[in-house]
Amino acid sequence: MMNKSQKKQYIENMTSQFEKTEAVIVTHYQGLTVSQLDDLRKKMRENGVRFKITNNRITKLALEKTRCKELSDLFQGPTAVAMSEDAISSAKILTNFSKENKNLKILGGIMGEDILDVVGVENIATLPSLEEARAKIVGILRSPAQKIASILLAPASKIAILALEKSKK
């Protein structure tokens, strides 16, 4: 049991975390073993995601003062939240983990100012991560340069044929 000052500190801490983070995803963890929870926490930590089991009544008080107040209905039963700056990585980890462990249930969340339901979180999980998106952009930017280089390195006859084909269009 928390005393009054501990509860006040918990509310201040949670309010601050809800305000600072870009994405919050709410889950039910009932039925997960301690080792499964430890495994999930480890995966979350490796990706910079905070995963916290909550005290629902006090967390609802913390939510009242934040942009996440619409999530308060989700805080019933054994609830845990994932908070991160990268919604995609937390959604991917939770979605993949819930497929392997049916006892983890994603309830919904918030990304920026957008409230997400279960389907919304699963859709976010299908998006490429920041690193994947950067790699795709670099690939796209390199592609035209490679084409120009191959044209310049081609024999003059191929360049003439290419110019003739372009002029026909």
CB 27 within 8 A of CB 80: yes
pLDDT of residue 18: 87
130: tokens are 């920041």
For helices 34-46 and 87-100, angle between their N-to-C axes, nearest 10 degrees: 150
Residues 84 and 123 in one domain: yes
Sort 7 into a burial class: Cβ within 10 Å, 0-12 / 13-18 / 19+.
middle
Q: What is the pLDDT of residues 40-77, one digit of tens each?
A: 999 999 988 999 998 888 888 888 878 888 888 889 98
Q: What is the pLDDT of residues 105-162, one digit of tens each?
A: 999 999 888 888 888 888 888 887 777 778 887 877 777 766 666 666 666 666 667 6
Residues 85 and 68 in one domain: yes
Residues 108 and 138 in one domain: no
Residues 136 and 55 in one domain: no
Q: Could you tell me the CATH number of the domain that includes residue 9?
A: 3.30.70.1730
Residues 42 and 75 in one domain: yes
Q: How many residues belong to the chain?
A: 169
pTM: 0.74
Residues 55 and 17 in one domain: yes
Residues 97 and 63 in one domain: yes
Residues 141 and 160 in one domain: yes
Residues 135 and 97 in one domain: no
Query: Has residue 10 got a pLDDT over 90?
Result: no
CA 21/CA 70 separation, integer angstroms: 16
pLDDT of residue 154: 62
* Residue the block writes with tokens 């360049």: 159
The range of the structural domain enclosing residue 14 comes to 4-127
CA atoms within 13 A on the CB side of 92: 13
Residues 163 and 82 in one domain: no
Give how many domains the chain has, as a whole number: 2
Residues 68 and 147 in one domain: no
Residues 118 and 163 in one domain: no
